Structure 1
Amino acid sequence: MAVITHDSAVRRQLRSGLICAVVSATSFGLSGPLARGLMNAGWSSASVVAVRVLVAAAVLVPIAAAQLRGDWNLLRRNASLITAYGLVAVSGTQLAYFNAVAHMEVGVALLIEYTAPIAVVGWLWLRHSQRPTVTTVVGAALGITGLILVIDLRSGLTTSWVGIAWALAAMIGAAAYFVLSAHGDGSLPGTVLAAGGLLTGGLVLLAAGAIGIVPLHATTNPVVFQDFTIAWWPPVLVLGTVTAALAYVSGIAATRLLGSRLASFTALLEVLAALTFAWTLLGEAPRPIQLLGGALILIGVIVVRRGELATPDAPDRA
C-alpha cells in the first residue's frame, strides 16, 4: 500500500512538473517573436532583454517580499545563490549569446546553446554520480537531432572560433539555469529566487550597456506584426510579465519538481513554441524539415521522461 501511495505521489509530482515546464517553455518561446517586432521597430537586442528582465523584476519583487514575510535572513543566507542566478543564468547567458551572434550565424549559436541538456546530464553524472539510463540517452539523442532539424542549418556556414567560444559560454549559462533552479533545500521560494536573479541580471545588463559591452537603444515607434500594428508598450509589458516573470517562476518550479535533467530536455519545447509564435505573429511558416524536427523533440522528451521514471530517486543539488 505504501508503495502504491509513493508511486501516485511521484506521478502527481511529475505531472505538475511537466505542466510547469510546458508553461515555462511556451512563455519563453513567445519572447523571440515579440523581441523581433521591437527590434524591427528600432530597439537593440540588449535593450529588449534588459527591459524584459527589469519589468519582470518589478512584477515579482513585491510578491517575493510578501513571501519572505520579513525573514530577511533567508535572503541573506541565499545571497550567493541569487547572485549566481542573476549573473550566470540571466545576464551571463544573454551577454554570451549576443557576443556569439556577433561573430557567427544565429542558427549555429542557438544549436550550441541548446545542447545545454547534455551538459546538465554530464554535470549530474560527474558531480552526483547520477548516471543516465539507456532510455534517457536515446531520448536525448532524439531531442538533439530534432533540434538540429528545427534550426535547419544551411550549407556554407562560416566558422568563427571566437563565436563558438561565446556560444559555449551561453550553453554553460543555460545549463547553470537548470542546475541553480534546482538548488537549495526548498526554504527559498522560487519567486524570490526569480525576482532576485532577474533584478541582478537586469542591472548587470544595464551596466554592460553603459560601458559599451552591448548597445542599448530603444524607440517609441509602433511595432508591426503580420496582421496588426501596435504601440511599443504592450509587447514590452507582455515580454516582462509573461516571457520573463511567468517563464522564470514556472521554470524554477518545474526544475524543482522534475530535477535538472528532465526539466532541461522538456525545455527544448521552447523551440517549438518559438516556431509557432513566429508563424502566428511574423508569418514565418515552418518548413517540413522543421516540423519533422519538432516531432522528434516531442518524442525525445517523452522518451527522456520514461528514462527518468526508471532512475532511482537522487538529490539534485548543485
Structure 2
Amino acid sequence: MAARSKSLGLWFALASAATFGSSGPFAKSLLVEGWSSGAIVLLRVAGATLVLAVPTILALRGRWSLVRDNFLTILAYGAVAVAGCQVAYFYAVQRLDVGVALLLEYLGVVLVVLWVWLRTRRAPSALTGLGVVLAVVGLVLVLDLSGQSRPDLVGVAWGLVAATGLATFFVLAAEDSTLPPVALAGLGMAAGSVALGILGAVHVIPLEFAATPVTLVGGDVPWWVAIGELALIAAAAAYLLGVTAARMLGSTVASFVGLTEVLFAVLFAWVLLDELPGLVQLAGGVCIVAGVVAVRLGELRRGRPEQGPAAAEDADFPLPAGVA
C-alpha cells in the first residue's frame, strides 16, 4: 500500500507541476496589458476559493474544530505560501522570462532540504545531496550568468522572495495534520484572498485591472479566459494536487518532483507566448530533472524493506502517517 500510495503521489505531484506551470504565460499575457501582479493574484486566489468552497465545507462537515486546531497553519499557508509567493513570482515574471523566473522560485527546494536538515539534525543522503547540487547547477545554467542574457537583478530578487514562499508551501503541505488536503487548500486560498484584499485596500499592493483582450497563441482572447485558467487550473487544481502529493511523498520529494514545473512552464511559454530559453538554459533544465531523479532514487534506497523498520524511520522523506 505504501509503494502504491507513493506512486500515486508522484502522479499527483507531476499533475500539480503541470497545472502550476501554466500560470506564467497566462499571467504574463495580463501583465503586458496593464494588469498589476496584485490584481491578478487576487482574482486568481479568490476564484480558486469559490471553486474549493463546497469541497472544503463537505470535508469539514462535523469537524469544524479542525479549523481552530490548525488556525495558524492556515494563516501561514494563505499569507506566505499562496499570496506572498504568487505576488513575488508575478513581479519576477514582469522582469524575467517565465522559465527563468520559475527556476529562481524553485531555489525554495534547496531551502526545504536545509529546513529538514535543521529540524531533524540529520544530514541528507549522498543522493539527496547530489540532487541539490544538480539542481543548483541547473539554476546557474538557466540564469546564464556568463552569457549575454543576464536577468534583471530586481526580478532575481523577487524570484528569491518567491522561493521562500514556495519552501513554506511544501513544508506546511507535508505536515502530518488531521486537516484534509482540500480543506487546507480551500481555507488557505480564503486566507490569502483576505490578506491580498486588505493589502490592496490600504494601497500596499497596487490593484490595477484592464478589461482588454490578451494575446495568447498569436491571437486575442478575452481577459477573463486568462483569469479563469489561473483560478480553476493553475490555482484550485494545482494547490489541491500539490497538497495531496506532499502528504503522500513528504515535503522534500514533493518539492523536487515539483521542479518539473519549470519544464512545463517553458513548454507553455513556448506554445502560448513563443518564448523559448537558449540552449544553455535548456541544459540547465536537464540538470534539474537529473536532480529530481537523484532525490527519488535516494528515497527509494533508504526506504528498502530489507533494511528494516529503522531505515524507514531514518529516511529523509518519511511517508506521513495515515496516508498508506
TM over 0.5, shorter chain: yes
Distance 1:39 1:29 in 2: 17
The match for 2:239 is 248
Unaligned runs of 5+ in 1: 1-8
The match for 1:200 is 191
1:310 Cα shift? 2.4
Question: Structure 1's 166 and 294: CA in aligned 2 closer, same or farther, altered over 3 A?
Answer: closer
Matched, 1:77 2:69: yes
Q: Percent identity?
A: 43
Question: Structure 1's 165 and 43: CA in aligned 2 closer, same or farther, altered over 3 A?
Answer: closer
Specify the SS of the correspondent of 2:312.
Answer: coil
The match for 1:189 is 180
1:105 Cα shift? 6.1
Following superposition of structure 1 onto structure 2, how do residues 1-318 of structure 1 map, counting pairs within 5 Å?
9-97=1-89, 112-153=104-145, 154=147, 168-185=160-177, 187-311=178-302, 312-314=311-313
Distance 2:66 2:159 in 1: 34
Distance 2:204 2:243 in 1: 29
1:28 Cα shift? 0.7
The match for 2:306 is none
The question of whether the paired residues in 1 share the 8 Å contact of 2:134 and 2:287 is answered with yes
Distance 2:274 2:91 in 1: 27
Deviations 1:71-116 (A, max 9, x none): 21122211121111111211232345567789x8678865553211
Distance 2:105 2:173 in 1: 18
Question: Structure 1's 105 and 244: CA in aligned 2 closer, same or farther, altered over 3 A?
Answer: closer
The question of whether the paired residues in 2 share the 8 Å contact of 1:50 and 1:205 is answered with yes
**Does 110-119 or 274-283 show the bigger shift?**
110-119
Specify the SS of the correspondent of 1:253.
Answer: helix
Distance 2:113 2:44 in 1: 30
Distance 1:51 1:261 in 2: 30
Specify the SS of the correspondent of 1:310.
Answer: helix
Specify the SS of the correspondent of 1:143.
Answer: helix
Deviations 1:20-68 (A, max 9, x none): 1111111111000001111222211211111111100110011110111
Amino acid at match of 1:245: A
Specify the SS of the correspondent of 1:313.
Answer: helix
The question of whether the paired residues in 2 share the 8 Å contact of 1:82 and 1:197 is answered with yes
Distance 1:238 1:67 in 2: 25
The question of whether the paired residues in 1 share the 8 Å contact of 2:46 and 2:189 is answered with yes
Amino acid at match of 1:238: E
Deviations 1:211-261 (A, max 9, x none): 222211112111111332211112211110100001101101111111111
Deviations 1:97-142 (A, max 9, x none): 567789x867886555321111111111111234211011112211
- Give the TM-score taking structure 2 as reference length: 0.85
Question: Structure 1's 292 and 99: CA in aligned 2 closer, same or farther, altered over 3 A?
Answer: closer
Amino acid at match of 2:257: T
Amino acid at match of 1:303: A
- Give the TM-score taking structure 1 as reference length: 0.87
Unaligned runs of 5+ in 2: 303-310
Provide the aligned length of Structure 1 versus Structure 2: 306
Distance 1:130 1:257 in 2: 21
**Does 193-202 or 204-213 show the bigger shift?**
204-213
